A and B are shown apart, each in its own frame.
Chain A
């Protein structure tokens, strides 16, 4: 039990935080009782359904749009076009994303929407809409854009020292290129919204959104309404992963517009193909680099250019790029560095946030460099990585001290021990020596990931905590639940802060009329921010109750203790009889004394500053650390591979909820494995009639990990004694960082492929490293000259 106003990180005894509890909705999940946005549509009388008219061009002017015939289709109620928009025709906040476009900017771009009594009627209605187009030249790949000089937003550079001079001085110098593939979110629940309008013209939108406040903003500006006339609620999402941070807004606005015009509820749900073709993905990046190593084989110089494919509009491309630039160092000290980033503008769906938010695309560059250079430098890759770790006292290229850098070392050695790395290296070598057509690889990679939104203003949160007269507690906060267990953690935080059992705390769905002006549930920050806000609200309530209790207990309010649903005075333990008061009794007494039993909580992350132009400052509250070891086996005949074992040591501070955190680590890792090895987005890059069409637009052609990608041996260890000061109950964010532990798998593949080649062979590996990509890398290794090869200066990949 702790004092009423202890430091944020202090954790009372017998706290609800730290207990390994199941997801708060687990029983509803497993019984099918949990409702998602689309499940509400069938429960809402008179709902209309929306279907888009998707343009069959990557780039075209819409020269005609005739909707008369659609109205002849039985069941069609309304066709929504640009002419219907009373406010701003913009699905974003940068005026570059018209909701009903006059110019088609990507293949499958929705130009108008049909509302029908049934989904079938709406779909048939779209077939009757007559649209004509004037096709225009289309840029599809990042290279198309580079050739055409097609960029958007600001070019940014992170630099320290003199990278050019350091490269000149370097004992070893290499250069290369890396194509980094994108990734479809493939949340199992596709984008969905259900909009209703009430008798006063108030709009209520149920949306599967990570950012209800921004959904509210965009619905309001499309409809030309003030924000107070629009309420957005999110019950829960069937997965988000960043894909519902920005993309839901326009779709919610279409539904809201339809509801406004028809007076009826409007449901809009993208089917899988629509979702994959119309919404943004993880940004593909193209990187060029020059790296220098000193005599001790330390990475002393890096010069790189990162070009992301932003798609047709900016969306979140600039902050994604900023995070990529701020993470190219990963866990490594690089004295002289100059990294420039830019966003290509192309005719594709607008790329967006995805777990890691550019961080993975930055970090993979340095991991690729180390993985490729290690053989040429004659150093084991894990040793080369270890040698380059940040040391305490060093700072990142953007000027932030790397606090707790010693944890890298501690995690690395713990991982080596727990994964039996040394022994298994020997076993892998022995296996490879006797198997000419099958090779194994074993690799370790570290993660350092900055926590906080790069943009300082987003690092705030609100909460509403209400204690009812019977002692039950209802909490609301600005964060959204997408499966990551945020709501579970928030219940644990509230129960801990009020000293009540978790069963007394209920959490109500996220709504913009309960907690306003919220930030996206993103950047792994949901628990840090909203937990801080909930604790603030609970602390206020508890302080008031402490005053009431002090009278009962005959102690000073500072000496009142809350725990286990019982309130006691210091020195009078809960078992001593008499000098204690039950929580519910105290609450009732407080009500009769006219004490306010609810509070709005607020949290702002202290100590952050960031100059987004100079790319300098301290944008992150802290760093999350981790490391992973992975072992793979590659079939030389086909390039097919299996992940045999994965071990992870990860730093979540003092875990708020260990079962939830374990799920985030394992799930993030496997999702990262998908990005790096399996998931491949392929567009029609020909000059044919379907140029710009996504060829992998269904679950049958875009493959996310299944059971076959789960490592059969999968050990995750939470780094211990890791209290993070200044964060709610000493915890750390966990949503994104584990994704990047999957680099270990790609590096293990590189090791296995290398075993097909001569000693010292540097393996270039395409990303994603699909079986075909691995096969070609194996062929290159097998065809490599066997001896007398000089240390190469790398050509392009």
Chain B
């Protein structure tokens, strides 16, 4: 068995006896690579960002044409938003029609991940991209345009920006399908998605020069070694066992091994994306005797779409789910609305649904959405598997029905998903903040313009079914059952919605804390439903106008939807 080691900036280094308590950032810095910095030690600032080689689940030719934004009408799932941007329909997430495993450079927070998890992996830091006198194109643009002032956050920005620079789906102005080079507020004419930098904080520049540097990037040269690397398979996961006085880290080779280990040591810390583990380690100084890395176990990384359900492996990162959904047939507009609002790209490259649910935190953003989608979980242990509905999963503050010897294997979403959905996140900051209140809606109307079947322009639509998931207003995520009951079977009208909003305002037990006051949380619950209603009315109105415009103009191209405004 080879000594645990990894390739950093093209050079193989031994990991050493790192145990389970050493982060990749600490390890890199102790190795003399001090470009990556500790700014916050909890994955909020991105000063520690580095690139890692991961399997590309997306596909070279696929244009990631999905629009980001809060509550945009075209993500609503009203029949207009689905099916766009897809050029492959296998839905299995294997990524490439040719069946070949390719690589993607992914930026992650090195402060959050155990160094031992990178056994046999490949890491690139800012030092590895270029050096003074021989800058990488990303570094050149940042340096020339005033993208650095104090320079402390800069290596992290460079890595996040480089990941987007190499993203296969990044559309160049010249090769864009529509030929458009205008971009928008959050996407450059070179296809650069500004959300790629949403996990990096800069205190000096005010960001404008960083944006301009990002939007000025061209395409990688054909002989760029990091580009060439993408055509080769990503490094396989290594079964790793390493330990020191600082605890043990084990990466089991299979699910069976992981479950056996967990059965033997139920106090072990399961780690997938590590986005919570790192915070526990760095901020709360948690020191687990045994840390088990499960994010590369194949059984936890499956993604399948069938007529009646979508199964999402609990250890797929949110970015991977996002990519598979967008490139496949299993699109869930509500999840697509969630992703850009869920922390940052750096976090989504690690964070998993299994982790978000495993902690049973009341303020995670995924649970309200999954509650609205009526998801269930497949829990696995060495005793076997069982399926539990998510609305019966949470039992108390950071507690669930999951036993210590169980792990979450699969998140299961029934199909078809409700056609009208929305996710409302209340937070101080639009990018990368924790919600004070999160509300997710999944609504099915019947009889009206937005309902199933033929539009009935004379009658009011009625609420056939609605699920409302809430976060941040109780010790657990929960469903707003009283509000749901008030709406179900009733006409989808302002009066009914206002009555339901009054019920929604009584949901949960909101508290005052540093994110929001109790009164504001209650007001936001109430207003959320009113806004959802107003957005839906607006989208219907737009849709009607759209259709009549299409009748009038044969040259009409797909309409840019305005942000929904009542």
Interface residues of A (CB under 8 A from B): 22-23, 25-36, 38-39, 42-43, 120, 123, 185-190, 236-241, 271-273, 435-438, 482-485, 637-638, 640, 642, 659-660, 662-663, 666-671, 678, 680, 682, 695-696, 698-701, 703-710, 712, 714, 770-772, 775-776, 779
Contact = CB atoms under 8 A, between A and B. Distances in A.
B459 interface: no
Given A663-B209, A699-B44, A770-B428, A39 B34 contact: yes
Given A27-B133, A31-B129, A637-B530, A695 B203 contact: no
B206 A36 contact: no
Contact of B201 (A659, A663, A666, A706): A706
Given A698-B42, A772-B520, A708 B429 contact: yes
Contact of B153 (A26, A188, A678): A188
Given A23-B146, A36-B152, A186 B203 contact: yes
Contact of A187 (B30, B135, B144, B150): B150
Contacts of B33: 32
B429 A706 contact: yes
Contacts of A31: 35, 126-127, 129-132, 135, 139, 155, 158
A241 B34 contact: no
A29 B44 contact: no
B152 A32 contact: no
Given A30-B158, A272-B41, A678-B428, A710 B129 contact: no
Contact of A670 (B155, B207, B427, B515): B207
Nearest to B150: A483
B362 to A, nearest CB: 15
Contacts of B201: 188, 699, 704, 706
Interface stretch (B82-90, B250-258, B323-331, B430-438): B430-438
A30 B142 contact: yes
Contact of A707 (B146, B211, B283, B426): B211
Contacts of A638: 424, 426, 524, 527, 531
B431 A189 contact: no
Contacts, number: 253
A186 B86 CA distance: 42
Contact of B203 (A120, A188, A701): A188
A186 B517 CA distance: 24
A700 B151 contact: no
A36 B37 contact: yes
Interface string B517-540: 100100110011011001000000
B565 to A, nearest CB: 5
Interface string B474-498: 0000000000000000000000000
Contacts of A38: 34
Contacts of B204: 239, 483, 663, 667
B514 interface: yes
B38 interface: yes
Interface residues of B, number: 87
A43 B334 CA distance: 50
A666 B205 contact: yes
A352 B129 CA distance: 39
A244 B377 CA distance: 50
Interface in B432-476: 432-434
B158 A703 contact: no
6 contacts: A190-B39, A483-B148, A704-B201, A705-B207, A707-B194, A710-B211
B79 interface: no
Contacts of B527: 637-638
Interface-centre pick from A237, A642, A701, A779 (highest chain B CB count, 10 A): A701
A28 B148 CA distance: 10
Given A30-B130, A31-B35, A188-B201, 9 more contacts: A31-B129, A33-B127, A186-B203, A188-B39, A238-B37, A238-B152, A666-B209, A667-B149, A705-B429
Contacts of B274: none
A695 B514 contact: yes
B206 A32 contact: no
Contacts of A775: 520, 523
Nearest to B534: A437
Interface-centre pick from A30, A189, A237, A642 (highest chain B CB count, 10 A): A30
A469 B40 CA distance: 47
B42 A680 contact: no
B150 A30 contact: no
Contacts of B36: 32
Contact of B565 (A42, A189, A437, A710): A437
B268 interface: no
B516 interface: yes
A187 B150 CA distance: 9
Interface-centre pick from A188, A485, A640, A668 (highest chain B CB count, 10 A): A188
A23 B148 contact: yes
Contact of A188 (B21, B32, B45, B208): B45
Interface-centre pick from A120, A662, A667, A714 (highest chain B CB count, 10 A): A667
B556 interface: no
Contacts of B524: 638
Contacts of A667: 149, 203-206
* Shortest Cβ-Cβ A-B pairs, 7 listed: A32-B35, A483-B150, A238-B152, A29-B151, A670-B206, A699-B44, A483-B149
Interface of B: 21, 29-30, 32-42, 44-45, 47, 125-127, 129-133, 135, 138-140, 142-144, 146-155, 158, 185, 194, 197-198, 201-209, 211, 246, 279, 282-283, 285, 424, 426-434, 513-517, 520, 523-524, 527-528, 530-531, 534, 565-566
A666 B143 contact: no
B35 A33 contact: yes
Contacts of A483: 148-152, 204
Contacts of A25: 148, 151
Contacts of B426: 638, 640, 771
A1 B336 CA distance: 62
A678 B513 CA distance: 16
Nearest to A712: B185
B520 A710 contact: no
A663 B205 contact: yes
Contact of B47 (A28, A188, A700, A705): A188
A772 B129 contact: no
Contacts of A185: 203
A666 B206 contact: yes
Contacts of B285: 123
A708 B527 CA distance: 23
A671 B152 contact: no
A95 B194 CA distance: 50
B126 to A, nearest CB: 4
Nearest to A710: B207
A28 B130 CA distance: 10
A670 B30 CA distance: 35
Contacts of A36: 37, 152
A638 B185 CA distance: 22
A662 B208 CA distance: 10
Nearest to A25: B151
Contacts of A706: 198, 201, 207, 429-432
Contact of A237 (B129, B150, B208, B513): B150
A637 B150 CA distance: 39
Given A188-B47, A239-B152, A708 B428 contact: no
A42 B520 contact: no
A637 B566 CA distance: 10
Contacts of B208: 666, 710, 714
A34 B37 CA distance: 11
B513 A26 contact: no
B424 to A, nearest CB: 8
A551 to B, nearest CB: 40
A776 B521 CA distance: 12
A710 B206 contact: yes
Given A30-B158, A236-B150, A772 B430 contact: no
A667 B209 CA distance: 10
Given A31-B127, A666-B206, A703-B428, A189 B37 contact: yes
